[in-house]
A and B are shown apart, each in its own frame.
Chain A
Amino acid sequence: MSARTINFTLNGQAVSTAIEPHRNLVELLQRFDLLGARESCGQGLCGCCTVLVDGVAVSGCLYFAVWVDGKSVSTVEHLDADGALSNVQQAFIDCGAFQCGFCTPGFVLMTHQLLKDCPDPSDEDIRDYLAGNLCRCAAYPEIIEAVKRAAKAAT
């Protein structure tokens, strides 16, 4: 079926592109050379494709690209737009909260979402928000430490 032209805000910039209805949001971002959101499990389970649409975290692999028409999309690449790493990014580095780094963009964006909703998260809140993110290097203890450190840095 034919491509459709969509207009949306991507990391603060108004953009326009033509895309077919069967493409997902990760495929759309790849066209803009944004590779931080990765389609990994393809089923919304692993969190590697986390993207914010109008400030709400979604799995890019389970979200139709054309649905972002008229909306605002933010990716991990936008977190240091002002030239400095975000609190969360810095905390992940300080705690060594990754090994290979493949899952890190998803964890970082979900942590931003968590701290937006719960600035002082309980262990239960942390588990709830990050339950759908998988780290195959199993850096979970360091990730949880980084989340707590980022929460502390923000207050």
Chain B
Amino acid sequence: MIPFEMVEPRSLEEAVALLDPTETTIRAVAGGTALMLMMKAGVFQPTRLVCLHRIEPEHARITLTEAGELRIGAMASLSEVEKDSNVAARLPVLKNALRRLSNPRVRNVARVGGALAHGDPHMDLPPVLAALGARVTINGPNTSRELPLLELFAGYYETVLEKNELITAVTVPQLHDRKSAYIKVTSRSADDWPAVGVAVTFSLHDGVLRDPIVVVSAATEKVTRLAGAEQVLQGAAIDDAVLRRAGDAAAAEASVLADAHGSAAYKRELLRVYLRRAVRQALDESTPQVRQ
């Protein structure tokens, strides 16, 4: 790697002040597992890295709010989320996704805020948290704002974050009796980046599906909600014909990109099939979801 300046602020305020609103070669680093890959490949050459690992420990806390929402500090490691008892009890879909994410060493080091701010459409947390209706808290110099997570993503590795803003927390609403599932398809090896990811959540009343959220990742330039597929599922009694129509709608509306994991046509077919399987998996919650 090419040499650069590294600073390790002790507070969030100091960290934000060390960022620069216009300079693209100055960046914040949470766990660094993704950014270091970019630096090793030479696609990112920083002049200054603002390392966040020594800021106030409260930013790594995972707490249950009075409203029953789970508030995950941006500096919580993926392992800490995976092993959190509230996550296990309330959001099994999130725990299951984490157990299949990379490997335990990466999960020990990678941070939730980094996984979101990186804007990489192949990662697992963005689609799962988006389907759960999560919101991100964003802090800048003397500013704080909250956004639905889906609105964070602007394009391929792009977010709406200003260069001197940091994600400080992600808040996940209660799942209540909503069903949920996330499936990723890795076309080469099990631990590879996925060719497509599908996350779904919905309610079920008397066999009728309500208020679905369907999110696709990895196959598209950014994590994307699929309104057409949701429209097919909304108010439907689930059978094979409905699921086929929902898969067809997803495949028709998603703007699918080809890469080393598969051609656009192949990924579109994967999306068509795995959307059906994700809904089925969410319906059949007795099926263990850790490994597909």
A-side residues, CB < 8 A to B, are 1, 4, 20-22, 24, 42-45, 47, 50, 56-59, 62-64, 66-67, 110, 113, 124, 128-129, 131-133
Contact = CB atoms under 8 A, between A and B. Distances in A.
A62 B37 contact: yes
Contacts of B49: 21
B3 interface: yes
A56 B36 CA distance: 19
A62 B33 contact: yes
B144 interface: no
A132 B106 contact: yes
A113 B103 CA distance: 13
Given A42-B40, A43-B37, A129 B104 contact: yes
Contact of B104 (A20, A42, A62, A132): A132
B277 interface: no
Interface residue tally on B, bucketed by range: 20 to 34
B151 interface: no
Contacts, number: 76
Given A64-B32, A67-B51, A59 B106 contact: yes
A1 B102 contact: no
The 10 nearest A-B residue pairs measured at CB = A132-B103, A21-B6, A22-B1, A1-B3, A59-B105, A62-B33, A22-B3, A57-B105, A56-B108, A62-B36
Given A21-B49, A64-B51, A67-B51, A128 B104 contact: yes
Given A56-B79, A66-B8, 7 more contacts: A21-B3, A21-B49, A44-B102, A44-B103, A57-B104, A62-B106, A64-B6
B4 interface: yes
A131 B190 contact: yes
Nearest to A129: B104
B52 to A, nearest CB: 11
A38 to B, nearest CB: 14
Contacts of B290: 124
Contact of B103 (A21, A47, A63, A124): A47
Interface in B65-90: 79
Nearest to B33: A62
A132 B32 contact: no
Interface in B268-292: 290-291
29 contacts: A1-B3, A21-B3, A21-B4, A21-B6, A21-B49, A22-B2, A43-B37, A44-B33, A44-B37, A44-B102, A44-B105, A44-B106, A47-B103, A50-B105, A56-B79, A56-B108, A57-B108, A58-B109, A59-B106, A62-B32, A63-B109, A64-B32, A67-B53, A124-B290, A129-B104, A131-B103, A131-B190, A132-B102, A132-B104
B5 A21 contact: yes
B191 interface: yes
Contacts of B106: 44, 59, 62, 132
Contacts of A22: 1-4
A110 to B, nearest CB: 7
B109 A59 contact: yes
Interface in B100-134: 102-106, 108-109
B99 interface: yes
Contacts of A113: 104
Given A62-B33, A67-B51, A132 B105 contact: yes
B109 A20 contact: no
Nearest to B104: A129
Contacts of A62: 32-33, 36-37, 106, 109
Nearest to B107: A132
Contacts of B109: 58-59, 62-63
A45 B102 CA distance: 8
Nearest to B189: A45
